[in-house]
Amino acid sequence: MTLYYTQDHEWLDVAGDTATVGITDYAQEQLGDVVFVELPAVGATLKKGGDAAVVESVKAASDVYSPVSGTVSEANAALEAEPALVNSAAEGEGWFFRLTLGDASELAGLMDRAAYDAFVATL
């Protein structure tokens, strides 16, 4: 399991050729209470930096971008029934989708936890 982070506040947990994607605790804190999540369809092809999902809170709606290219293999059905999982476990059970990596070399441009924490400290 290797964790990566983006400047758009998504995290990826990579195991083999599968990446689990969600938003960071920082992003969730900025959004406030999440009330709705729109997830990508299984089988959808996502491009790095492209729209992947939508998260709505009492404060705002925000796009979730795909940190890497790939094909969606699973969407977190639990979020559709209980979007508040993002509030309580953004970097755990509140994950959004899993995808099969299209190009593992895209991971090289992402941050590790220390780099992400340093980036957030500048915001």
Instruction: pLDDT tens for the chain, 123 residues: list them.
Output: 689 999 999 999 999 999 999 999 999 999 999 999 999 999 999 999 999 999 999 988 999 999 999 999 999 999 989 999 999 999 999 999 999 999 999 999 999 999 999 999 999
Query: Domain segments of the chain: what residues?
Result: 2-117
CATH number listed for the domain at residues 2-117: 2.40.50.100
Burial (CB count within 10 angstroms: exposed 0-12, middle 13-18, buried 19+), residue 6: buried
Dihedral of alpha carbons 22, 103, 46, 66, sign: positive
The per-residue pLDDT for 1 is 67
The per-residue pLDDT for 2 is 87
Q: What is the pTM of this model?
A: 0.95
Residue 80, SS3?
helix
